[in-house]
């Protein structure tokens, strides 16, 4: 199931909330939430829900063993076992075909493909369960004795399929002791609606522009320079609003059930350097690689460059089983290294707008590597962006496309700046206050929330507009 | 409602039990309002959506809505059940049509146009693959068919072959009464279709491949909407190859190919009909890859001469019958026939035609201009006497056959293009009093519908086959060469427009009827 569907919004969510709040006691509430989460997952992945169980069982058991035999070889064996099993799950489901493809190409063999499809969210929950075993092994988290609570940690539906990647240590206490407050719930509602708005009102439309330009209108070489820029910029906004909107919704839903997740995005497109960008983009993934790969490798104390190289190649690969993602990771490695060793200090002296614009451009070119899995397409797109090989700047079609999307573009630019967050924070703060200012803030909050819900519903219904023309195929 | 109150009570209880928070009761009520404004719509609309699920048709979109899927364990495990269930849910969402209307308004933001755009193109959207398959002439009659206003409509726009609801066809729908003009009368009338016949299962939608999605786009210029074709040379080559195969398999018949341009070639801004969009080039290139033994009709040049006339609809993707007439003139030239002149035909017209181009763009505010300026459909009745009969497939089983019409002046369906040859049917046979012994089979998508009536004046028997009716799972098979042999057919005419010539799926369908 996805958050941005009518079924989730009008059936699953209210039903889950009602049953959750009717259920007496946290124990029962947790069970309700676990069942709801499993239904949520199984809705889209009825078969591979099994993997989720396997992953949960493996790490629960390993956690218990590590706790029991702390400091002895059994603990170490369990720890290794957890890492191996989780990485093998990920390896076979996500990278199986990729590995086979490359082996075949390299050795001239013809190993058949696995035929496995990528189970939803596997990259997220295997990391979550693995982090638990590692934390327990390192003594940074306590052993979870209750399988029910552990299963809840693994399956918790708000962040299950697209993050943020939860760290067991940050959620541990909340599993057995958490409070739902009116304030928290109201904040959760607001946060969820903001996320929904990002996804439905910005990301979906941006994505439609991208697919219209890059997938439905013939060869890339036939695009104009304007179309290429428009497409790439809309893609940058699509991926940002999609992902950060999802995180917002997850955080908001978490609040509704009394959980506090940490933030996952912090206006990444406003960053003044690539280093800063990666502190603001998909924060939970960055910190995962930092804590479980970079620091164990030696961090900045030894072989820093090598460590960075490994981390960024892996970060790239995590995003998808294809070489272009590795290239994308390494692309950032280059800029991060350059900022660290070459021009980092120079960057700080630049006016803010220049460094922000430069950073955005670097990220934008990065999305070219990210979007096009075929390297020939990557080359063509760069040629397009720079107008190489006599590619026309503009034509009627691209002018019309720019006009059609100009308001969307403006909304996306404003939406990705810090302005709405600043206003939002002030409104939220003031909405609690007495007096006229408080009343106005509260009223605008209520109106914004209602409008977001209404507009998202209209758009979700509208997106199913599917005129019957000919369907017999 | 009640549950919602109790929900709120729970929060309040939690509040009281758990903490002495630092906000007073005044603020507490504010939180409750925020929460209530969110939960009430969710619960109320959610509850309505559970009980109000009887919508079956969307007039707005002119299509049948999804039916509740039948549960099966296998489908559940592979995720198909939940997927179709969600489609069904969104299709039957409460207030769906009003919300759709609101969405068109919302789209003013997302498909923004300045009041006076440069060259008048106000909208450009990617072409849907399905419409590119020649669109559809026969679709369920959303105006009459579903509320069964009776069989009075001559020739009934309903067609059992197109019973997309999967419901059992009623007598009303399958047995059109002969029209007063006598054009539908058939010596074989009286054979009632078997009402107990099992409806055919619906064919699965096959996932289109990427290349196939690149078939074109729709633009609105002024008050006219057009499909813009995109040349895909590999697919056009396949199309030509298929025609060559037709000739190879039917060496004793003449194979005639007629590819017609559409309105996009003549009424769009220059860049939409030049380069890869040039339909002239597409047609010439496709023809050039065909065997010399295939007769290629140059309809393009003839149509080009008349672009100031009303030869293409503005709100529909088809040509008018006048457009088809000029193609017929070109056809006659290629075959050394004497075409009838326009003044020899008895004519009539149907007002208020808002066609497929509107249906397809109705989600965008820019299309309101189409709705406000409907087309008028003019028809030209055949000059010679004839009778027509529609069959389920090539076996021509009389027990399921019924009388068709070649021209109907009364089309109550929104889609007035159904006025021609009873819409898209699997197989139609027209017998005429021409008496020259000549027989032709027309392999067509819906562009052929307006063309066929002219053939009545030149052939003793005309067979019309729509290859799309044999392309899905569960649809009958059709073996064109065998059929042509069995019925000693002289001419095989394949008539198409450029959007299907560059559609991989359509070419596959054409290939599919040659065994």
Contact (CB, 8 A) for A17 and B7: yes
* B50 contacts A11? CB cut-off 8 A: yes
CA distance B453 to A457: 48
The CA distances from residue B17 to A181, A302, A334, B6, in Å, are 10, 53, 55, 16
Partners of B43 on chain A (C-beta within 8 Å) are 14, 18
Q: Taking Cα atoms as reference points, which of A33, A36, A28 lies closest to residue A11?
A: A36
Contact (CB, 8 A) for B362 and A467: yes
Residue B29: per-residue pLDDT: 86
Contact (CB, 8 A) for B219 and B268: yes
- What confidence tier does A465 reach under pLDDT thresholds 50, 70, 90? low
Can you tell me the mean pLDDT for A254-279? 92
**Token representation of residue B137:** 């002439």
Element (H, E) at B254: strand B254-259
Residue A217: per-residue pLDDT: 62
Q: Collapsing DSSP states into helix, strand and coil, what is residue B463?
A: strand
Nearest CA in chain A to B91: A464
Residue B63: per-residue pLDDT: 60
Contact (CB, 8 A) for B418 and B195: no
The answer to whether the peptide bond before residue B247 is cis (omega within 30 degrees of 0) is no
Other CB atoms within 10 Å distance of the CB of residue A389: 9
CA distance B451 to B454: 6
Partners of B27 on chain A (C-beta within 8 Å) are 432
Can you tell me the mean pLDDT for A214-233? 85
Which among B30, B62, B90 has the least Cβ separation from residue A468?
B62
The CA distances from residue B168 to A93, A243, B162, B204, B389, in Å, are 45, 47, 11, 19, 21
Residue B18: per-residue pLDDT: 37
* B61 contacts A466? CB cut-off 8 A: yes
Strands B63-64 and B224-229: what pairing? unpaired
- Would you call A302 an interface residue with chain B, using a CB distance cutoff of 8 Å? no
- Would you call A468 an interface residue with chain B, using a CB distance cutoff of 8 Å? yes
What confidence tens digit (pLDDT) does each residue in A12-59 have?
999 999 999 999 989 999 999 999 999 998 887 788 888 888 888 988
Partners of B103 on chain A (C-beta within 8 Å) are 458-459, 461-462, 465
A319 is catalytic: yes
- Would you call A22 an interface residue with chain B, using a CB distance cutoff of 8 Å? yes
Q: What is the 3-state secondary structure (H, E, C) of A435-450?
A: HHHHHHHHHHHHHHHH
Residue whose tokens read 């064996």: A77
CA distance B474 to B476: 6
Tell me the pTM.
Answer: 0.74
Strands B439-444 and B491-496: what pairing? parallel
Alpha helices in B337-383 (DSSP H): 356-361, 368-372
- Chain A interface test: which of B110, B121, B449, B474 (most A C-beta within 10 Å): B110
Residue A218: per-residue pLDDT: 66
CA distance A143 to B135: 63
Query: Shortest Cα distance from A129 to chain B (angstroms)?
Result: 25
* A396 contacts B468? CB cut-off 8 A: no
**Token representation of residue B352:** 């208020």
* B49 contacts A215? CB cut-off 8 A: no
Element (H, E) at B462: strand B461-465
CA distance A149 to A137: 19
**Token representation of residue A15:** 């039903």
Other CB atoms within 10 Å distance of the CB of residue A157: 26
Strands B386-391 and B461-465: what pairing? unpaired
Query: Shortest Cα distance from A437 to chain B (angstroms)?
Result: 13
Residue B177: per-residue pLDDT: 34
CA distance B488 to A416: 70
Q: Taking Cα atoms as reference points, which of B165, B133, B84, B62 lies closest to residue B471?
A: B133
* A466 contacts B63? CB cut-off 8 A: yes
Residue B9: per-residue pLDDT: 38
Element (H, E) at B58: strand B57-58
What confidence tens digit (pLDDT) does each residue in A83-135 have?
899 888 888 888 888 888 888 888 888 888 777 777 888 888 888 888 888 88
Q: Which residue has the higher pLDDT, B77 or A455?
A: A455
Q: Taking Cα atoms as reference points, which of A29, A315, A339, A336 lies closest to residue A177?
A: A29
A-to-B residue pairs, Cβ atoms closer than 8 angstroms:
240
Residue A313: per-residue pLDDT: 92
Residue whose tokens read 């939220």: A428
Residue B251: per-residue pLDDT: 94
* A461 contacts B96? CB cut-off 8 A: yes
Q: Provide the chain B residues 3-32 that lie in CB contact (below 8 A) with chain A.
A: 3, 6-7, 10-12, 14-15, 18-19, 21, 23, 26-28, 30-32
Q: What is the 3-state secondary structure (H, E, C) of B255-299?
A: EEEEECCCCHHHHCCHHHCCHHHCHHHHHHHHHHCCCCCCEEECH
Greatest alpha-carbon span in chain A: 76
- Would you call A436 an interface residue with chain B, using a CB distance cutoff of 8 Å? no
Residue B215: per-residue pLDDT: 58
Given the residues A267, A282, A319, A465, select the one marked as catalytic. Answer: A319
Nearest CA in chain A to B213: A216
Contact (CB, 8 A) for A371 and A214: yes
What proportions of chain A, in percent to the nearest 5, are helix, strand and coil? 75, 0, 25
A210 pLDDT higher than 70: yes
CA distance B391 to B442: 15
- Would you call B90 an interface residue with chain A, using a CB distance cutoff of 8 Å? yes
- Chain A interface test: which of B9, B26, B30, B77 (most A C-beta within 10 Å): B30
Q: How do the pLDDT tens digits run along chain B, 515 residues long? A: 334 443 443 333 333 333 333 344 457 888 999 999 999 999 999 988 888 766 656 555 556 666 777 777 766 666 677 777 888 888 888 888 888 888 888 888 888 776 654 457 777 776 654 443 444 443 333 333 333 333 333 333 333 333 333 333 333 333 333 333 333 333 333 333 333 333 333 323 333 333 444 457 888 888 899 999 888 899 999 999 999 999 999 999 999 999 999 999 999 988 889 888 899 999 999 999 999 999 999 999 999 999 999 999 999 999 999 999 999 999 999 999 999 999 999 999 999 999 888 888 887 888 888 988 999 999 999 999 999 999 998 889 888 899 989 999 888 878 899 899 988 889 999 999 998 999 999 999 889 999 999 999 999 999 999 998 888 777 888 999 999 999 999 999 999 999 889 888 889 899 989 97
CA distance B335 to B128: 35
Nearest CA in chain B to A13: B42
The CA distances from residue A81 to A66, A88, A293, B281, in Å, are 11, 10, 17, 64
For residue B220, what are the β-bridge partners? B123, B225
Q: Provide the chain B residues 39-78 that lie in CB contact (below 8 A) with chain A.
A: 39, 41-43, 45-46, 49-50, 58, 61-64, 76-78
CA distance A274 to A337: 10
CA distance A399 to B271: 13
**E strands, B283-438, in order:** 295-297, 347-353, 375-380, 386-391, 402-403, 427-432
Q: Taking Cα atoms as reference points, which of B309, B295, B292 lies closest to residue B378?
A: B309
* B359 contacts A446? CB cut-off 8 A: no
Sequence-separated contacts (24+) of B167-172 with Cβ below 8 Å: B167/B199, B168/B195, B168/B196, B168/B197, B168/B199, B169/B193, B169/B195, B169/B197, B169/B199, B170/B195, B171/B195, B172/B148
Residue B61: per-residue pLDDT: 59
- B148 φψ region: left (φ > 0), alpha (ψ -120 to 50), beta (else): left
Which among A44, A181, A396 has the least Cβ separation from residue B82?
A44
A252 pLDDT higher than 50: yes
Partners of B230 on chain A (C-beta within 8 Å) are 217-218
CA distance B377 to B420: 11
Q: Is the ipTM of this complex over 0.90?
A: no
CA distance A176 to A163: 21
Alpha helices in A177-216 (DSSP H): 182-197, 204-214
Other CB atoms within 10 Å distance of the CB of residue B40: 13
User: In percent, how much of chain A has pLDDT > 70?
Assistant: 97
What confidence tens digit (pLDDT) does each residue in A378-430 have?
999 999 999 887 888 888 778 888 888 999 999 999 999 999 999 998 998 88
Contact (CB, 8 A) for B15 and A181: yes
Residue B54: per-residue pLDDT: 63
Residue B159: per-residue pLDDT: 36
**Token representation of residue B71:** 């549960």
A302 pLDDT higher than 80: yes
**Token representation of residue A87:** 């990485």
CA distance B359 to B102: 16
């Amino acid at each position: 199931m996805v958050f941005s569907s009518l079924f989730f919004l009008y059936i699953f969510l209210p039903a889950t909330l009602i049953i959750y709040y009717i259920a007496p006691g946290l124990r029962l509430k947790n069970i309700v939430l676990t069942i709801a989460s499993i239904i949520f997952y199984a809705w889209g992945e009825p078969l591979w829900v099994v993997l989720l169980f396997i992953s949960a069982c493996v790490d629960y058991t390993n956690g218990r063993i590590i706790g029991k035999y702390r400091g002895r070889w059994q603990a170490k064996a369990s720890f290794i076992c957890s890492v191996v099993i989780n990485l093998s799950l990920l390896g076979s489901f996500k990278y199986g075909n990729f590995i086979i493809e490359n082996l075949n190409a390299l050795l001239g063999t013809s190993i058949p493909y696995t035929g496995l499809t990528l189970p939803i969210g596997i990259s997220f929950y295997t990391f979550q369960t693995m982090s638990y075993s590692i934390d327990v092994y390192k003594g940074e988290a306590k052993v979870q004795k209750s399988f029910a609570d552990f299963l809840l940690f693994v399956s918790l539906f708000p962040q299950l399929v697209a993050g943020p990647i939860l760290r067991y240590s940050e959620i541990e206490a909340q599993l057995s002791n958490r409070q739902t407050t009116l304030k928290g719930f109201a904040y959760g509602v607001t946060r969820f609606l903001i996320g929904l708005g990002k996804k439905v009102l910005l990301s979906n439309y941006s994505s439609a522009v991208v697919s219209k330009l890059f997938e439905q209108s013939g060869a890339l070489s036939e695009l104009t320079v304007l179309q290429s820029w428009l497409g790439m910029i809309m893609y940058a906004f699509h991926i940002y609003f999609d992902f950060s909107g999802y995180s917002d919704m997850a955080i908001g839903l978490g609040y509704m059930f009394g959980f506090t997740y940490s933030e996952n995005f912090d206006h990444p497109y406003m960053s003044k350097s690539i280093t800063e960008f990666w502190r603001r983009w998909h924060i939970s993934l960055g910190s995962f690689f930092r804590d479980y790969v970079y620091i164990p490798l030696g961090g900045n104390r030894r072989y820093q460059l090598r460590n960075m190289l490994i981390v960024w190649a892996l970060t790239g690969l995590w995003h998808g089983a294809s070489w272009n993602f590795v290239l994308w990771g390494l692309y950032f490695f280059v800029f991060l290294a350059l900022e660290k060793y070459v021009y980092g200090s120079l960057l700080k002296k630049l006016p803010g707008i220049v460094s922000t614009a430069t950073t955005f451009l670097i990220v934008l070119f990065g999305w070219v590597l990210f979007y096009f899995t075929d390297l020939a397409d990557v080359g063509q797109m760069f040629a397009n962006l720079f107008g190489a090989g006599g590619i026309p700047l503009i034509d009627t079609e691209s002018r019309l496309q720019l006009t059609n999307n100009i308001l969307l573009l403006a909304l996306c630019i404003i939406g990705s700046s810090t302005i709405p967050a600043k206003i939002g924070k002030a409104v939220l703060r003031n909405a609690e206050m007495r007096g006229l200012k408080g009343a106005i803030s509260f009223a605008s909050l209520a109106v914004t929330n209602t409008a977001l819900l209404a507009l998202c519903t209209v758009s979700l219904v509208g997106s199913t507009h599917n005129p019957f023309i000919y369907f017999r195929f | 409602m009640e549950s919602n109150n109790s929900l709120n009570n729970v929060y309040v209880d939690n509040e009281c039990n758990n903490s002495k928070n630092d906000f007073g009761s005044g603020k507490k009520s504010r939180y409750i309002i925020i929460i209530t404004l969110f939960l009430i719509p969710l619960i109320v609309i959610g509850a309505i959506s559970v009980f109000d699920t009887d919508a079956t048709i969307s007039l707005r979109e002119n299509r049948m809505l999804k039916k509740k899927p039948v549960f099966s364990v296998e489908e559940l495990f592979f995720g198909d059940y939940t997927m179709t269930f969600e489609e069904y849910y969104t299709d039957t969402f409460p207030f769906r049509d009003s919300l759709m209307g609101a969405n068109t308004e919302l789209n003013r933001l997302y498909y923004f146009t300045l009041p006076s755009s440069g060259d008048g193109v106000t909208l450009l959207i990617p072409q849907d693959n399905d419409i590119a398959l020649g669109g559809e002439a026969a679709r369920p009659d959303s105006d009459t068919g579903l509320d069964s206003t009776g069989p009075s409509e001559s020739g009934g726009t309903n067609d059992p072959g197109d019973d997309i609801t999967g419901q059992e066809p009623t007598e009303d729908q399958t047995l059109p009464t002969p029209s007063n003009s006598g054009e539908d009368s058939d010596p074989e009338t009286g054979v009632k279709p078997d009402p107990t016949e099992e409806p055919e299962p619906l064919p699965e939608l096959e996932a289109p491949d990427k290349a196939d999605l690149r078939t074109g786009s729709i633009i609105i210029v002024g008050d006219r909407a057009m499909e813009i074709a995109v040349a895909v040379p590999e697919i056009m080559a396949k199309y030509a190859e298929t025609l060559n195969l037709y000739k190879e398999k039917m060496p004793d018949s003449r194979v005639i190919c007629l590819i017609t341009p559409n309105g996009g070639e003549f009424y769009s801004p220059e860049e939409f009909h030049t380069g890869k969009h040039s339909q002239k080039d597409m047609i010439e290139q496709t023809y050039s890859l065909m065997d010399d033994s295939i007769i290629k009709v140059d309809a393009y040049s003839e149509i080009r001469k008349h672009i100031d006339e009303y030869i293409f609809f503005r709100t529909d993707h088809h040509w008018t019958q006048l457009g088809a007439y000029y193609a017929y003139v070109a056809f006659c030239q290629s075959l050394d026939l004497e075409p009838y002149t326009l003044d020899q035909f008895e004519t009539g017209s149907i007002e208020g035609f808002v066609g497929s181009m509107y249906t397809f763009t109705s989600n965008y505010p820019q299309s309101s201009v189409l709705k406000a300026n409907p087309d008028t459909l003019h028809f030209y009745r055949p000059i010679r006497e004839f009778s027509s009969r529609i069959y389920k497939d090539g076996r021509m089983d009389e027990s399921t056959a019924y009388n068709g019409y070649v021209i109907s002046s009364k089309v109550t369906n929104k889609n007035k293009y159904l006025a021609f040859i009873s819409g898209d049917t699997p197989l139609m046979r027209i017998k005429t009093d021409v008496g020259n012994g000549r027989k032709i089979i027309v392999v067509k998508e819906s562009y052929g519908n307006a063309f066929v009536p002219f053939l009545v004046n030149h052939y003793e028997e005309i067979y019309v086959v729509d290859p799309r009716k044999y392309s899905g799972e569960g649809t009958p098979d059709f073996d064109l060469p065998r059929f042509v042999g069995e019925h000693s057919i002289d001419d095989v005419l394949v008539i198409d427009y450029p959007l299907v010539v560059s559609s991989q799926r359509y070419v596959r369908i054409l290939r599919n009827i040659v065994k």
